[in-house]
Amino acid sequence: MSGSNSSARDAAEPLRLTVHDMAAPDLAAGGGRRTTHGRLKMLLVLLVCAAPVVASYLTYFVIRPQARTNYSELILPTRPLPALALQALDGSAVDAASLKGQWLLVAVGPSACGEACQRQLFTQRQLREMLGRERDRLDKIWLLTDDAPLAAPLQAALDGGAPVRALRADRAALANWLAPAAGQALEDHLFVVDPMGEWMMRVPAAPEPGRVKRDLERLLRASASWDQPGR
């Protein structure tokens, strides 16, 4: 009987050692690898989505095929639209993100809108009309930097034809997004914002409309594959 019990223990011993000597799987390491892999995939997706936009800007304004030069200043890196506290003229809140989805030609100025401001708004309107059938891809935005009411003639002018969308915004907050050229003020420029809400071009002060028009046409032509009229 003793020999029989000893033989049984000897037969069972290798099985016991085999089970207890197996290494436990490293679940934490596997989870870390999966998290890293997921993040890399997300970054690749973002890069693929942004590639057409970046390529269009580089093609038309940096590589400059055939020695072509731009008149307006390209902003690199571009600056994303912040969460501005915007208000319509009736005082209702406007979500800044609602401006995305369309090319924007932005003017900045006070509600009083003196002679220089009126010239700026006229140039803004002229440039959009000069784009012909492509004009529906560009919206005119006037960001008012105070709370004063608009004069009746100015309000009527804004509402006529292709209206300007007038919104009130804090000037300090705007200055953290848009920036003038050296020696200039925000009110001296028109600013071009792409459909993703990125400020990407600054029009010179007192611009030559024909030269700005060529810049806008290049942008619209370069973005034709990924941007369509309307939001």
Residue 18: per-residue pLDDT: 46
- Closest-CA residue to 169 (of 85, 96, 229): 85
Instruction: Determine whether 172 is exposed, middle or buried from the number of CB atoms within 10 Å of its CB (0-12, 13-18, 19+).
Output: exposed
Q: What's the CA gap between 205 and 47, in Å, rounded? A: 34
CB–CB of 227/193 below 8 Å?
Answer: no
Q: What's the CA gap between 180 and 90, in Å, rounded? A: 29
CB–CB of 198/80 below 8 Å?
Answer: yes
Residue 77: per-residue pLDDT: 92
What's the whole-model pTM score?
Answer: 0.73
- Closest-CA residue to 172 (of 80, 76, 82, 77): 82
CATH number, span 73-222: 3.40.30.10
Low-confidence ranges of the chain (pLDDT < 70): 1-68, 161-162, 231
Residue 136: per-residue pLDDT: 93
CA distance readout (Å), 133 to 29, 102, 128, 138, 194: 58, 15, 10, 11, 18
Residue 7: per-residue pLDDT: 47
For the beta carbon of residue 211, count every other beta carbon within 10 angstroms. 13
Domains of the chain: which residue ranges? 1-69, 73-222
CB–CB of 202/188 below 8 Å?
Answer: no
